[in-house]
Chain A
């Protein structure tokens, strides 16, 4: 798992770093003293875990959770015991650790994260999906189920344990696989062009030998998927 640490105090970041040192498969890829800098980073990069302070200058940890558009799980690290009830409002918050934190409690939190990341459903639960209408898809972004109309989706890109769902205005990072989302999409509109890409067929602007253009995005076409794409074209 990779993680970042967001805390305005250097000494607090050091403590988290030391706790992380005891965990074999946990890599700290960045640390931030500023919540804003962390948000900018998260807009560009996916991480598995964010260790987050609650009280930062001008920005609470909860503001942060609401702002990021990222599938990361969050572990709050704080001296303030009073916000645990509020933390439960956010599905992305996996744990709430109160300083001083023992290595044992930290290890337990990491184990919980591993279990959650393994089973985390990114597309809504069967219970909910049974109630959904047929022209849209709900994606789980933190605690919110965000509705995307099929027609608004340009393409989906696989990225490790996550997928990027690109619309005209937004890029949503969702913890899921291409196969799972493919099963939810109507195949008269969507087509897999590559092992890492599904495109909205209706959004194609032009096609070259091994790529299609959708808005300003060049999407690869693999040799094996090309015949199906050509078959669907209304060729003159």
Chain B
């Protein structure tokens, strides 16, 4: 069973990711956060998370600052409406995919298969 965490500033976006994740056998959502700091605290204590679905534009810090502060190293799938950060994303080894909203089921499944 792969464990994933969702970090999105918007509850509706969390629900979309949760819905898509629920359709993948063997993938379980163990945490969902609208607060980047709470997510960091959770992830830095619980180090068994395999996949992190992470929005880039979060109120407290952006997704890249978040990744710099993250101690464990789950695979990261960025989920964003901003198409202009993909080049920056390549600077982060943990990032395996970059999904542009609205999220598509096939593309989401492929991202998970890369993790």
Give chain A's interface residues, CB within 8 Å of chain B: 81, 84-85, 87-88, 91, 95-98, 105, 108, 111-112, 115, 124-128, 130-131, 143, 145
Inter-subunit contact B87/A125 (CB<8 Å): no
Interface size on B (CB < 8 Å)?
21
A-B contact pairs, 21 of them (CB 8 A): A84-B86, A84-B87, A85-B86, A85-B98, A85-B100, A87-B86, A88-B86, A88-B97, A91-B110, A108-B93, A115-B93, A124-B113, A125-B113, A125-B115, A127-B2, A127-B24, A127-B26, A127-B112, A128-B109, A131-B25, A143-B110
Inter-subunit contact B113/A130 (CB<8 Å): no
Known A85-B100, A115-B93; contact A127-B113, beta-carbon cutoff 8 A? yes
Within 8 A of A (CB), among B86-105: 86-87, 89-91, 93, 97-98, 100
Contacts of A128 in B (CB 8 A): 109, 113
Interface majority SS (helix, strand, loop, mixed), chain B: mixed
Q: Min CB distance, A148 to chain B, in Å? A: 17
Known A84-B87, A87-B86, A124-B113; contact A130-B26, beta-carbon cutoff 8 A? yes
Q: B67: CB under 8 A from chain A?
A: no
Cα of A124 to Cα of B112 in the assembled complex, Å: 11
Q: Min CB distance, A106 to chain B, in Å? A: 13
Give chain B's interface residues, CB within 8 Å of chain A: 2, 24-27, 83, 86-87, 89-91, 93, 97-98, 100, 109-110, 112-115
Question: B84's closest neighbor in chain A, by CB?
Answer: A85
Cα of A128 to Cα of B93 in the assembled complex, Å: 23
Report which of B83, B91, B113, B114 forms a contact with A85, defined as CB distance below 8 A: B83
